[in-house]
Structure 1
């Protein structure tokens, strides 16, 4: 009888089989029995092992892509694999191909000296080097960046990579190289800029996208200024509100505040139509403060939310009679002008709510004397400065306002007494 010959698996496949067996013998609940120092060492060692495995994965992806000859197809194949999506798969293919221009970096990743993010930054910098750079200069650049990765955080490593040509150029020439690299990166960023929005049909929308670095920094700086934890000291009520919110929730509320204060009358027009939201509501519902309003898009909002946002936002109220005929299509001068807001700020010195320390820059103009729905005018004495939180409460709780003889706005909350914000006034 002739024994059947069974071919041995390729060495790489045999190694992966051995890795599977080793991982099968490593219980995930065993780390709890280790002392803290050993636990920390285990985390660091596992991170290095993950980097080594990542190098193997990227090498396999590059080989697969070379065999297929089509990056888009490679990304699609990977996207249907283990827990991937198309964006991550395309990025993996891109990094794998870029590493081919940085052999020292790939070796450092395979040995666990670099993390994947560090290797991607270095490989990207090497790929962007001009063709006039000699092989010796390339090796010097790559060696320098690998050494820098051991002492710089990833953000500083990216900045260092932009100036890598100073390894072989004079400072002035390196500065020109950096400027050209930044121009190239900015052009690439604009081509990748995008945004998407999805209506979840539950009163909220999800959105995401990608912004160029400069504009993203501008947005984050604006949001941080509004959502910063230092605002928690304003009142005990606001401090409780801040304690209940996560950082992401505070940033989300800050973003809604920015949207509500966009100068809609300054936005581009489409076909001669201003970028304004039209809100339709029956007169009886508006005056009785019950019922809902309808946006041009069909979205329904409460009458209270409509009255609040109408104090500051460039929306056009369209009030209907009982026979669905338009009675009022907004007033040309409904929003407070910058000059009026400055005058109110000098009078109120910030939010007029008793105990609130919000400065004028955080406040909005509120029609307190007579709501715009009831025919109120937009004069300095008709407005009061309220921060966003208390502006919401003033509409939701139907606060009462009055102008005292000394020119100070006073407030009376439901079941309360007349009070004022006792700021020091010169």
Structure 2
């Protein structure tokens, strides 16, 4: 009988099988039995082993990317497998490709001399070198950065990478190169700058985004100053748990405190509407210190929170049935004053066009009773908020407006019916 020959797996596959067997034999409970010195050594060794495995992983990813070709996105293929993280998979592909221009760095990663983050910084710097750099100069740059990575924190290594051409250039020329690299990075940072906010409908909002380094450092510096552990700048209720707050909690409260202290009178206006939120409350409720108040945006807050906000300049209390401001200006001026715009915004809550969701800050004041050229006055009752698009349409199409009995501006377009913007009003 002839024995059937079974082909042996490629050596690299056999090595992976052996790694799996070794890991299967290691218990995660075993580290608790070690003394602190051995625990620290084990953690350090495992970090180096992780770096070595990452070096092998990136080499495999680069080979896969070359094999799949340009028509298939390697990140999508990887994300369909282990991890299910498209963002992380795309980043691994980028680092793997960059390492092809930094062979010494890849070897240092695979041997455990560098961490993945350090290797990514060096590979990015090598990939960004101009085509005029000679092979010897490239080799000198990479060798220098690998040595620097072993003595600099990652933040300093990134800064050092911007000046990597110091290795073979005169100081003045290297400084000019750094300035140009920073200019390009700042332009790219502005292009990627963004922010988003989402109302969780439970009294809190989530937000996130991306800022250029300069503005982020300015914001962090301001928040750190407010969030200092011994600062007693918050309310009595908030101060009681100040010493038990985590750093993220301190920063969150510091951000809220910073927002309340923004000098709104220095902010730009949109169409002349000041960046001010009004707080509406009935005069009797204010006197009794009970009852909820309403922001221009429709959000409800407690009377206690309103009394606290009365000390800040970011809110403008608007008391109904109380004394009003002298806002009527007759014909002396054509444009609505900031105080008038605040009052109109408090009434209209945004563009009065039915179905339009533009907030007050995006709107312009419109003389709806009569054109200014035909004798209109600049009073609150003569003004309505319209976003720029609908303001142009109102003039071009000769829209009609009227003030309903309940104080809401209604709109009638050509060949249409009288309609209003149905915003919720408590």
TM-score, with structure 2 as normaliser: 0.70
Name 1:182's counterpart in structure 2. Answer: 182
Cα distance, 1:35 vs. partner? 2.7
Structure 1 residues 243-268: Cα deviation after superposition (integer angstroms, max 9, x where no partner): 12122211111111110111223222
1:18-417 to 2 correspondence within 5 Å?
Answer: 18-69=18-69, 73-231=73-231, 241-320=241-320, 328=324
Structure 1 residues 349-382: Cα deviation after superposition (integer angstroms, max 9, x where no partner): xxxxxxxxxxxxxxxxxxxxxxxxxxxxxxxxxx
Cα distance, 1:96 vs. partner? 1.7
Cα distance, 1:238 vs. partner? 8.8
RMSD (Å) for aligned C-alpha atoms: 3.1
Shift in CA distance, 319/25, structure 1 to aligned 2, threshold 3 Å: same
SS at match of 1:231: coil
Shift in CA distance, 131/333, structure 1 to aligned 2, threshold 3 Å: closer
Cα distance, 1:88 vs. partner? 2.4
Distance 2:197 2:70 in 1: 30
Shift in CA distance, 20/90, structure 1 to aligned 2, threshold 3 Å: same
SS at match of 2:152: coil
TM-score, with structure 1 as normaliser: 0.70
Kept in 2, the 8 Å contact 1:286–1:303? The answer is yes
Shift in CA distance, 189/71, structure 1 to aligned 2, threshold 3 Å: farther
SS at match of 1:186: helix
Q: How many residues align?
A: 330
Shift in CA distance, 101/289, structure 1 to aligned 2, threshold 3 Å: same
Distance 1:227 1:291 in 2: 32
Shift in CA distance, 328/75, structure 1 to aligned 2, threshold 3 Å: farther
Unmatched 5+ stretches in structure 2: 328-336, 340-426
Distance 1:292 1:77 in 2: 54
Kept in 2, the 8 Å contact 1:318–1:330? The answer is no
Shift in CA distance, 27/300, structure 1 to aligned 2, threshold 3 Å: same
Kept in 1, the 8 Å contact 2:229–2:243? The answer is no
Cα distance, 1:201 vs. partner? 1.8
Structure 1 residues 184-230: Cα deviation after superposition (integer angstroms, max 9, x where no partner): 22122222222222222221112222211111111111111111234
SS at match of 1:229: coil
Kept in 2, the 8 Å contact 1:105–1:122? The answer is yes
**126-135 vs 283-292, greater mean Cα deviation:** 283-292
SS at match of 1:101: coil
Cα distance, 1:333 vs. partner? 11
Kept in 1, the 8 Å contact 2:273–2:338? The answer is no
Kept in 1, the 8 Å contact 2:277–2:315? The answer is yes
Distance 2:71 2:306 in 1: 50
Cα distance, 1:298 vs. partner? 2.5
Kept in 1, the 8 Å contact 2:137–2:168? The answer is yes
Distance 2:193 2:233 in 1: 37
Cα distance, 1:233 vs. partner? 12
Cα distance, 1:169 vs. partner? 0.7
Distance 2:72 2:177 in 1: 31
Distance 1:156 1:248 in 2: 24
SS at match of 1:201: coil
Distance 2:130 2:109 in 1: 24
Cα distance, 1:306 vs. partner? 1.8
Distance 1:9 1:20 in 2: 15
Shift in CA distance, 10/238, structure 1 to aligned 2, threshold 3 Å: same
Shift in CA distance, 61/191, structure 1 to aligned 2, threshold 3 Å: farther
